[in-house]
């Protein structure tokens, strides 16, 4: 255990991944599962080579990513001003919050078909589904971040005769930024789920969601695993990108 703690992060992750693959291979060997029920890591790797070589994986991945990133950005930039309004105005919170909370009781899979009816564009209906999934967790973190600012700092800013704009730029936004970026990390991973749900509901022969549905109907379980690992890699990449931005913009923190 002490040896693992002393290793670099990337090496620890690599070791844990190799242990996962070894356990997976052992399970397949002991259970004697056929490949269409539980393929071995070797079968999944072979299928990965096939879909990379013929370009299918890259083509569908780029389509899904082109839906994920706009959905993430739209969800964040809509949540930012609304979160500020709810954090600063008790009246707005009483009027709007019940509807926002109630909306979270409705599964996105139930709302997505309505969006495909209301929005003619297949692409933008998928993007909007991703944005809706991102919106609420980011909104909650924005509100929590703005409300975490100590009251004595507001008193100091008022004593310095700061304008509301200066208070936001110099105090509120920097103080709330760590919590806001934490919410953006959550939103980055959820945006992948949102885009996938949009592709399930609005299939158009493109996207990882379409490829996943096709693989499931053809009992290509190895291809299903390839797609799942690809989605996980996209989510981890987005999370890592937000973490990189967090380290850059929060260098002033101890």
What b/e sequence results for 169-180 when a residue is b if at least 16 CB atoms lie within 10 Å of its CB, and e otherwise? eebbbebbbebb
pLDDT of residue 253: 66
Percent of the chain past pLDDT 90, that is, above it, reads: 36
Q: Name the least confident of 8-12, 69-73, 75-79, 91-95.
A: 8-12
Reported as half-sphere exposure (CB side, CA atoms, 13 A), residue 36 has a value of 6
Between 7-16, 21-30, 53-62, the lowest mean confidence (pLDDT) is in 7-16
CA 26 – CA 94 distance, rounded (Å): 56
- Tokens representing residue 11 in the block: 């090496």
> What structural domains does the chain harbor?
40-249 (1.10.3720.10)
The predicted model gives 65-85 an average pLDDT of 93
Among the ranges given (47-61, 73-87, 153-167, 178-192), the one the predictor scored with the smallest mean pLDDT: 153-167
Contact 252, 180 (CB under 8 A): no
CA atoms lying within 13 Å on the CB side of residue 183: 25
Residue 244 exposed, middle or buried by CB count within 10 Å (0-12, 13-18, 19+): exposed
What confidence score (pLDDT) does residue 233 get? 94
Q: Read off the DSSP letter of residue 64.
A: H
Q: How confident is the model at residue 169 (pLDDT cuts 50, 70, 90)?
A: confident
| 33-47, 65-79, 89-103 — most confident range | 65-79
Q: Residues 253, 77: contact at Cβ < 8 Å?
A: no
Which three-class secondary structure state does DSSP give residue 232? Answer: helix
pLDDT at 167 > cutoff 90: no
Confidence of residue 2 (pLDDT cuts 50, 70, 90): low
Q: Specify the pLDDT at position 254.
A: 57
Q: What is the pLDDT of residues 189-234, one digit of tens each?
A: 999 999 998 888 876 778 899 899 888 888 889 999 999 999 999 9
d(CA 89, CA 83): 10
What's this model's pTM, rounded to 2 decimal places? 0.86
Q: How confident is the model at residue 68 (pLDDT cuts 50, 70, 90)?
A: very high
The mean pLDDT value for 7-23 works out to 80
Q: So what's the pLDDT on residue 3?
A: 60
Q: What is the mean pLDDT of residues 1-5?
A: 60
Q: Choose among 174, 148, 141, 171: nearest CA to 251.
A: 174
Under the banding of pLDDT at 50, 70 and 90, the label for residue 236 is: very high
């Amino acid at each position: 255990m002490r040896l693992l703690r002393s290793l670099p992060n990337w090496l620890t992750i690599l070791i844990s991944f190799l242990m996962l693959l070894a356990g997976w291979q052992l399970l397949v060997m002991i259970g004697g599962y056929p490949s269409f029920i539980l393929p071995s890591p070797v079968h999944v790797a072979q299928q990965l080579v096939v879909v990379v070589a013929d370009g299918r994986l890259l083509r569908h991945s780029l389509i899904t990513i082109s839906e994920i990133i706009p959905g993430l950005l739209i969800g964040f930039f809509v949540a930012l001003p609304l979160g500020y309004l709810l954090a600063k105005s008790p009246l707005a919170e009483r009027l709007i919050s019940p509807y926002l909370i109630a909306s979270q009781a409705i599964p996105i899979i139930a709302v997505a078909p309505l969006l495909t009816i209301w929005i003619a564009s297949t692409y933008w209906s998928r993007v909007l589904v991703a944005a809706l999934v991102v919106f609420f967790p980011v909104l909650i973190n924005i509100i929590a971040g703005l409300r975490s600012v100590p009251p004595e700092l507001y008193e100091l800013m008022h004593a310095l005769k700061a304008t509301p704009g200066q208070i936001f730029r110099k105090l509120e936004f920097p103080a709330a930024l760590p919590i806001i970026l934490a919410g953006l990390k959550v939103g980055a991973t959820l945006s992948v789920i949102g885009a996938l749900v949009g592709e399930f509901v609005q299939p158009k022969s493109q996207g990882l969601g379409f490829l996943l549905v096709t693989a499931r109907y053809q009992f290509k379980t190895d291809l299903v695993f390839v797609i799942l690992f690809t989605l996980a890699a996209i989510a981890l990449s987005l999370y890592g990108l937000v973490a990189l931005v967090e380290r850059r913009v929060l260098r002033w923190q101890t």
